[in-house]
Amino acid sequence: MNAEPEPLAALARLVRGQRIAALGTLRNGAPNVSLVSYLAAPDCSAFWMRLSRLAWHTQDLLQDPRASLAIAERDDGRADPQTLMRVTIRGEALPPDREPSFLKDDWLKKFPESRVTFDLADFSFWRIVPRDVRFVAGLGRTHNLSAADLRAATCRP
């Protein structure tokens, strides 16, 4: 454990406070970044996405599950955008063996407009189980965290 409580609390606030993330996948061996909506598991043990099989990132993940998910504070116009908090979660993105009971309800609470995707055959849930986490709390305040560190935070109220 190389993180004190304060960075973990800030990280949890960041993850709770945002809705969209940048998903990095491999496309023919090259990086491909796209925008996704995400929901964190209550204990930050997984990050859920609802992806269409027709989307490039999903095709990428079906070829190679390695993924990187970056969540950043919204740019509020401050003088130095390098002080914005951001976190990069790396791991494998896979369809779950089964969906946890909270998932559909909590997803729809966060993304009510995505209800239509539950009637479309090409959409399904995917999850990233973090392998490692790089949290930049601000300029020069970088914390390398393990998945276990992250599970000490609370990503949902």
Residues making contact with its own copies (CB under 8 A): 18-20, 22-26, 29-35, 37, 56, 66-70, 72, 74-75, 79-82, 84, 86, 88, 90, 111-114, 134, 136
The nearest distance, CB 81 to its own copies, in angstroms, is 5
Give whichever of 111 and 125 is closer to its own copies, judged by the CB atom. 111
Report whether 115 contacts 122 (CB < 8 A). no
* Distance (Å) of CA 5 to CA 53, 56, 105, 134: 39, 38, 30, 15
Report whether 54 contacts 60 (CB < 8 A). no
Give whichever of 101 and 105 is closer to its own copies, judged by the CB atom. 105
CA distance 156 to 139: 26
The nearest distance, CB 5 to its own copies, in angstroms, is 24
The nearest distance, CB 66 to its own copies, in angstroms, is 4
The nearest distance, CB 100 to its own copies, in angstroms, is 22
Cα torsion at 147, 35, 82, 73 (round to 10°)? -70
CA diameter of the chain: 46
Give whichever of 74 and 98 is closer to its own copies, judged by the CB atom. 74
